[in-house]
Amino acid sequence: MRDNFRLTLAQLNPTVGDLTGNAQKARDAWEKGKAAGAQMVALPEMFITGYNCQDLIMKPAFHHAAIETVKSLAADCADGPALAIGAPWLRDGKLFNAYLICQGGTITAQVLKHHLPNETVFDEVRLFESAEMQGPYAVEGVRIGSPICEDSWHEDVAETLEETGAEFLLVPNGSPYYRNKHDVRLGHMVSRVVETGLPLIYLNMVGGQDDQVFDGATFGLNPGGQLAFQMKQFDSEILNVDLERTDEGWRIQPAEVHVHPDEWEQDYRCMVESLRDYCGKTGFGRVLLGMSGGIDSALVATIAVDALGAQNVRCVMLPSEYTSAESLEDAKACAKALGVRYDYVPIAEGRAAITNTLAPLFEGTTPDITEENIQSRLRGLLLMSLSNKFGEMLLTTGNKSEVAVGYATIYGDMAGGYNPIKDLYKTRVFETCRWRNTHHRAWMSGPDGEVIPDRIITKPPSAELREDQKDSDSLPDYPVLDGILTLLVDQEASVADCLAQGYDAADVKRVQHLLYISEYKRFQSAPGARLTKRAFWLDRRYPIVNRWRDG
């Protein structure tokens, strides 16, 4: 009977569909665990396929290939520690989310997920079968229980494992970030430890996948809920954790408890990692964006530089006659501070050509938003042309407030492949810019210091599509707008709830109206980093055709 157990935790970044690459990462981690004298090397949930695979996992050719990859990996890792890795598994013709334990060249145990999440970004009821609850598996005589991700958020699986002889719990996860989620995870895991009296190790992956970012933050808890160790957020890392048998049972030996940064830094890091991995995993090495001199494009440019380096970012100013001298100066100053390529492409000539082309059809009508949107759509055309010619992915720059109420031109400034600030309300855009100007971290590729000129942050926001235009001409002031949207979108509140919070009835009704009629725009919008539990896309799914209104 062993009195000590070394577990190598691989908090790594898989890529969805890259079976060979993910297997190589697992093999490398196993080699490090073997060199460290570990008894087992553990990887996160569904690591071999990457996560979240969505409907790809249901494709027979794919899940069969994933299972065969794990079998080959088991054979390669025969002479050394056990290897535990998340993967799909077939039993009686049914597909399961599994945690596979490889020992001696074969898969010796399959833990199958019982509780399948079916909310927000998860559709596992659609993808997998729910398995019966199981007992623990054994590695070198030590009985280990592995509730897979959602299984650890419910008391029954962990209690069943404790009752059937588990000596400690290892929880593999594919748990994506949202603001303040780590505290939620920690609370659930403390409950499992208190209920079972067993040590618990929570292992999470890192890296971006479409709109989601997995933030790692792996940790261990001893009985009583004491934090034994905590790994960094967002960073790939391999850590050896030692457990020892005591008179009271197994205990995790204390190691470094990494202190996580505040929510402003976490959100910013999430946006940077999201863009970095989206580009890296899709093969885009360079990006471009329209640089208007406003705060949103300045923040997106800064995120892009921090993610990819200034040499891989192009900013393009596309002025019209309504572009102010201040915007021209501010855009150039921001681009210079960031060190990016800055191109100046006036649109007056192109706009005149389009206006003349349309003149016979528009004869007898009054100029309105149609003519304003021509400017935006022409900019989209020019930016997409640059994207096509030079292979640079176009970033779009609409914040969550604008995305919510449709304050953006479809096929114009909404054109692009990714939107880093899609889930960031305008009021948070301002504060995030201030935060970045006063903070710099090693994971940022951009320069230190004030990279977003103060005037960009303090001047009244404007689309500059007509003379003396301000956002407040069309929308409530952003603190009011964001307050109403937080209630309607993030909290699914009613109009009555908004009025009870003191908001003006006309403002609430107008914001609700804009929110619903803009659904078709969001349906066609670029993906973007998920920062909250109510991001637009998988978190909030509303019909495009919808006549219902509240009140």
Which residues are marked as active site?
Answer: 45, 113, 149
The count of C-alpha atoms lying within 13 angstroms of the C-alpha of 498, restricted to the half-sphere facing its C-beta, is: 28
In sequence order, which residues have a C-beta less than 8 Å from that of residue 202 and are 6 or more positions away?
152, 171, 173, 185, 189, 218, 219, 220, 221
In sequence order, which residues have a C-beta less than 8 Å from that of residue 15 and are 6 or more positions away?
21, 22, 50, 207, 281
Looking only at Cα atoms, what is the longest distance across the chain?
Answer: 91
CB atoms within 10 A of CB 466: 17
What separation in angstroms does the CA of 318 have from each of 226, 315, 341, 392, 410? 56, 10, 14, 17, 17
Region for 274 from its dihedrals, namely left if φ exceeds 0, alpha if ψ lies in -120 to 50, beta otherwise: alpha
Whether the Cβ atoms of residue 149 and residue 175 lie closer than 8 Å to each other: yes
Alpha helices in 13-119 (DSSP H): 19-35, 60-76
Amino acid letter for position 361: L
| Angle at CA of residue 22, ends 20 and 26, nearest 5° | 115
Query: What is the Cα–Cα distance from 404 to 373, expressed in whole angstroms?
Result: 18
Query: What is the Cα–Cα distance from 393 to 418, expressed in whole angstroms?
Result: 8
Work out whether strand 219-222 and strand 94-103 pair parallel, antiparallel, or are unpaired: unpaired
Considering only CA atoms, which of 325, 316, 371 is closest in space to residue 346? Answer: 316
Residue 44 exposed, middle or buried by CB count within 10 Å (0-12, 13-18, 19+): buried
Q: Does residue 52 have a cis bond before it (omega within 30 degrees)?
A: yes
